[in-house]
Amino acid sequence: MKAHDFLELLKKQGFNFFTGVPCSYFKPLCEILNKENDLFHIPAVREDIAVGLSVGAYLSGKMPVIYMQNSGLGYSLEAFASLHLIYYIPTLVLVSYRGPEDKGWEEHLIMGKHTEDLFRSFELKYSIFKGNITEEELKEIKDYLIGTQLPYFLLVTKGALE
Amino acid sequence: MNRLEAIKIVIENLSGDELLVHANGAISRESFFCKNRKENFYLLGSMGLASSVGFGLALNQPNKKIVILDGDGNVLMGFGNLALIGAFKPKNLIHLVFDNQVYGTTGNQPTISKYIPFSEVAKLLGYRTSHYIDKEDSLKKIFKEILKEPGPHFLHIKVSPEVTQICPRIPYSAKEIKERFISSLK
Ligand SMILES: Cc1ncc(C[n+]2csc(CCOP(=O)(O)OP(=O)(O)O)c2C)c(N)n1
Ligand SMILES: [Mg+2]
């Protein structure tokens, strides 16, 4: 789906603070984030810092979205474990799914192979986003965030956002 | 001056409803021991990220002053935060580093802080003001001054690693810390 349409759906659900570190899968998304000034966007320098930033944003009343490559998920798990999962910070996290399907990148092989295992062992709620999401589905995610006060992860596959 | 004495000076010289964000470990406990404030956010873990949380708050609470109480080990771990804060220059952010040259909370193992000119680094990275402080009276004077001036401000506060008072753990769960803090903003 178009990154633009996806962002519009996010805005409609009230998401209003964006931070993260790019992945090539997020190129179309970041292009918009980096030029639209009505969106609150802070490009972070590390994924765990983006996780910390989202806490400050949430405490002051924002609804945060973090974007990161699954390599950054590795850097971030302790931050989620000692922030979002114990303070109860609802945040939508877009994680690009580099790895098993995405051949020829040795650096992504191991993390890619274990990404879903990591979500399961940390009991992080996630689903795979292949390029289609309806307003209702996004509203369900939003309701999950508000209801549980926990983060929700969308594993974004190659080409899902264009 | 040791860390507890320095923290006490900071707490006693707040002007009112500043929001405090604390690094994990002894810094959080000592501040809690000095004063139990609802406007205080304590990181129980997530070493290195107190300044990330503080920066996120500063961006979204432009009418409040945010004071980050950080440690040398914490700053070194989350060093990228200095670059981020220096780049975005939130006016309402005050970054204090209590530098005891050790990982105090885990038993005084040395950090590399004695080689790091934190206040020069912060200044170069874009903090509006930056000071090195090693005396109680200058801490009091400079802290009171910068509270009134637009930031971001950086104070590198040199403290001794000695601990004369063991402060108990914070008696709240993470969720309680969050809820108290959010309620103080309403
Ligand atoms: C990621 C991570 N690594 C290590 C620790 C263990 N730990 C807790 S506090 C601390 C020392 C913090 O040092 P500093 O910021 O200098 O504060 P001080 O205790 O000296 O005041 C360490 C290493 C931790 N909590 N998290
Ligand atoms: Mg220290």
- What angle (nearest 5°) sits at the alpha carbon of residue B178, between those of residues A15 and B127? 75
Q: What is the rounded distance in angstroms from the CA atom of residue A64 to the CA atom of residue A16?
A: 6
Q: Which residues of A are less than 8 Å from B55 in CB distance?
A: 52-53, 56
Measure A83 CA to nearest chain B CA, in Å.
7
ipTM for the predicted complex comes to 0.94
Fold of A3-100+110-156: Rossmann fold (3.40.50)
Q: What is the rounded distance in angstroms from the CA atom of residue B39 to the CA atom of residue B19?
A: 5
**Eight-class DSSP state of B154:** E
Domain ranges of chain A: 3-100+110-156
Cα B127 to ligand 2 centroid, rounded to whole Å = 21
Number of domains in chain B: 1
Q: What is the rounded distance in angstroms from the CA atom of residue B20 to the CA atom of residue B16?
A: 11
Q: Do B140 and B13 contact (CB within 8 A), yes or no? A: yes
Residue B62 preceded by cis peptide, ω within 30: no
Please report the pLDDT score of residue A39 as a whole number: 76
Cα B24 to ligand 1 centroid, rounded to whole Å = 7
CATH code of the domain covering residue B100: 3.40.50.970
Nearest Cα neighbor of B123 from B86, B75, B81 is: B86
Q: Is B9's pLDDT higher than 90?
A: yes
Q: Which residues of A are less than 8 Å from B49 in CB distance?
A: 48-49, 51-52, 79, 83
Contact with chain A for residue B43, Cβ under 8 A: yes
Q: What share of chain A is helix, strand, coil (3-state, %, to 5)?
A: 50, 15, 30
pLDDT per residue over A59-94, tens digit each? 999 999 999 999 999 999 999 999 999 999 999 999
Contact with chain A for residue B174, Cβ under 8 A: yes
Nearest Cα neighbor of A113 from A127, A128, A99 is: A99
Does the predicted model carry a pTM greater than 0.90?
Answer: yes
Mutation choice for A interface testing from B20, B46, B95 by most A CBs within 10 A = B46
Please report the pLDDT score of residue A101 as a whole number: 80
Nearest residue on chain A to B64, alpha-carbon basis:
A60
Please report the pLDDT score of residue A45 as a whole number: 97
* SS3 call for B172: coil
Residue B121: domain span: 3-184
pLDDT per residue over B156-176, tens digit each? 999 999 999 999 999 999 999
